[in-house]
């Protein structure tokens, strides 16, 4: 068996290799889009939010919390944390500092920052709350501490 490649055979091999590599480079992002990495629904460990002074009174911070974001708000009654997922049809609620409420842009639901209850809107289910732990001025939410 002859193992010597001719120049033409080598260039043909190289062309095929580049075609396969290029095809893989083009299809990898498409495959990743349709099959994203699995995220925990909610983390089992507490999630770090930041330092207390980063969130002023009546201020809020959005943090990643497993598959969905969570909102941490500094109320006069202390820090509170909620899932940002609206309990109506799962739009993401946002903190409105002026109105001091979580507002849903989809169907105008509003939620109270102190206990997450519905202020008005098409749902009667409060926002899901998460435990807040403050250690040495550092805020953590969730985990198996509820
Ligand atoms: S999804 Fe939020 S009010 Fe409908």
Per-domain residue ranges of the chain: 1-37, 47-141
Task: Taking residues 103-121, report their average pLDDT.
Answer: 97
- CA 99, 103, 108, 114 torsion-angle sign: negative
The rounded distance, in Å, linking the Cα atoms of 129 and 77 is 15
Task: Taking residues 49-73, report their average pLDDT.
Answer: 96
pLDDT attached to residue 34: 83
pLDDT attached to residue 145: 47
CATH superfamily of domain region 47-141: Rieske [2Fe-2S] iron-sulphur domain (2.102.10.10)
Q: Find the 69 Cα to ligand 1 centroid distance in Å.
A: 16
Answer yes or no: is the C-beta of 121 below 6 A from any ligand 1 atom: yes
> What are the φ and ψ backbone dihedral angles of 5, each rounded to 5 degrees?
-90, 140
Answer yes or no: is the C-beta of 70 below 6 A from any ligand 1 atom: no
The rounded distance, in Å, linking the Cα atoms of 58 and 55 is 8
Residue with tokens 């500094």: 74
Percent of the chain whose pLDDT exceeds 70: 94
Q: Look up the pTM and report it.
A: 0.74
pLDDT digits (tens, 9 = 90+) for 21-39: 999 999 988 888 888 777 6
């Amino acid at each position: 068996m002859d193992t010597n490649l001719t120049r033409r055979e080598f260039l043909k091999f190289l062309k095929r290799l580049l075609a396969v590599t290029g095809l893989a480079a083009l299809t990898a992002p498409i495959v990743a889009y349709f099959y994203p990495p699995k995220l925990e629904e909610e983390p089992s460990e507490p999630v770090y939010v930041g330092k207390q002074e980063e969130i002023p009174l009546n201020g809020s911070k959005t943090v990643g919390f497993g598959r969905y974001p969570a909102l941490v708000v500094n109320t006069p009654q202390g820090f509170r944390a909620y899932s940002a997922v609206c309990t109506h049809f799962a739009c993401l609620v946002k903190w409105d500092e002026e109105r001091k409420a979580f507002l849903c842009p989809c169907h105008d639901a509003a939620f109270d920052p102190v206990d997450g209850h519905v202020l008005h809107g098409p749902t009667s289910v409060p926002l899901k709350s998460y435990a807040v732990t403050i250690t040495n001025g550092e805020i953590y939410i969730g985990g198996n501490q509820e």
